[in-house]
Structure 1
Amino acid sequence: MDKAQESSGRRVGVAVDFSPCSDLALKWAVDNAVRDGDTLILVVILPEQFYEHGEMQLWETTGPPLIPASQFTDPVVMKKYGVKPEDATLDIVKNAENQKKEVEIVMKVYWGDAREKLCEAIGNIPLDFLAVGNRGLGTLKRALMGSVSNYVVNHASCPVVVVKSSDRHP
């Protein structure tokens, strides 16, 4: 059993795709949801593709082990997982580490459809709570493209908060 599952606190997940919308959700979770003793888990869903690296093929279904925050800035480690964290996201994590000394921050990576994998992550990790960003799509685009946040809210087995962006994105 890993450290996050041994913790007596909650496991608070945030869906992170390194966009401004997911950064808002991460900041909201740090400011409003995470408390001492919790584990903050950045859940990253990457598009499904063919990976030549043996480890990635093994992790395709369950995702890799939890990645500690200390490794988020290590390019060799992040390349191994196929993740390229943005500076804005790393700044939020760094500020959270400084503000909340009793919070463990980790990342979990999955590959596939974001809607399905976020719902799977809730049970696999398991999460007690999930925050997701909303890109602010209009009604027509949301109907054509589907909404990850809408799907997760309707299918998740834990409470989900959707953090809406104040700006509409094209």
Structure 2
Amino acid sequence: METSAVEKQPETTTEAKEAPSVVRTKRIMVAIDENDSSFYALQWVIDHFSNLLLTTEAVEGGILTVVHVQSPFQHFAAFPAGPGGATAAVYASSSMIESVKKAQQEASTALFSRALQMCRPKQIRTETIVLEGDAKEMICEAVDQINVDLLVVGSRGLGKFKRAFLGSVSDYCAHHAHCPILIVKPPKEMTK
């Protein structure tokens, strides 16, 4: 009768032990721009999550995705023309458009260079993404497209009045991103 008790064990127990465990790589996204508060947030992630992001021989670490969103270039500007106050659209030349795009590309390269230098000492696996459009909307779209586990953004410390008129990327992302979000506020001496 003892053998029948052994025979009644479910077969799934053996299969569960043999099946390889699937561990999805963790992905943390940090949004950066020209403000020091975004680089403070990046450094905060490096200091506090480097063990989660570090890849060793035994463990596949996570990925730190650094994203920068460029404002789209407006190809025209409206200027008042004539005595009646009518406006006319003036279109930018192709050389001006190329010049602006080159300047944006150089600015993004400089930002990413700074970010990668910050990550290098901890040997964090990092990828960079440049997007174009409205920063808050593009960040939330990127979160969905690449399945981010945690979004980290800096806070510029805008007051209620400025935030109401200028809008806040961190505030928008906190309400619209489909993942946990961490808003890192810099120390008070940085915001002055």
- Offset of residue 90 of structure 1: 3.8
2:34 maps to what in 1?
18
CA-to-partner distance for each residue in 1:78-120, whole Å, 9 max, x for gaps?
x597242587864553242222x3x311101110111100100
Report the TM-score when normalising by structure 2.
0.62
Moved more, 90-99 or 129-138: 90-99
Distance 1:12 1:159 in 2: 10
Are the counterparts in 2 of residues 13 and 41 from structure 1 also a CA contact under 8 Å?
Answer: yes
Q: What is the 5 A alignment of 1:75-154?
A: 82-85=105-108, 90-99=113-122, 101=123, 103-154=124-175
Distance 2:181 2:121 in 1: 26
Instruction: Flag the 1:158–1:83 CA change in 2: closer, same or farther, 3 A.
Output: farther
CA–CA separation in structure 2 for the residues paired with 1:149 and 1:161: 9
Larger radius of gyration: 2
Cross-structure match for 2:177: 156
Q: Identity rate of aligned residues, in percent?
A: 32
The normalised TM-score by structure 1 is 0.69
List gaps (5 residues or longer) in structure 2. Answer: 1-22, 55-60, 76-93, 95-101
Corresponding residue pairs, total:
138
Structure 1 residue ranges, 4+ long, deviating more than 4 angstroms after superposition: 85-89
| CA-atom RMSD in angstroms | 3.0
**Structure 1 residues not aligned, in runs of 5+:** 1-6, 53-78
Tell me by how many angstroms 1:50 deviates: 5.8
Q: Which residue of 2 aligns with 1:76?
A: none
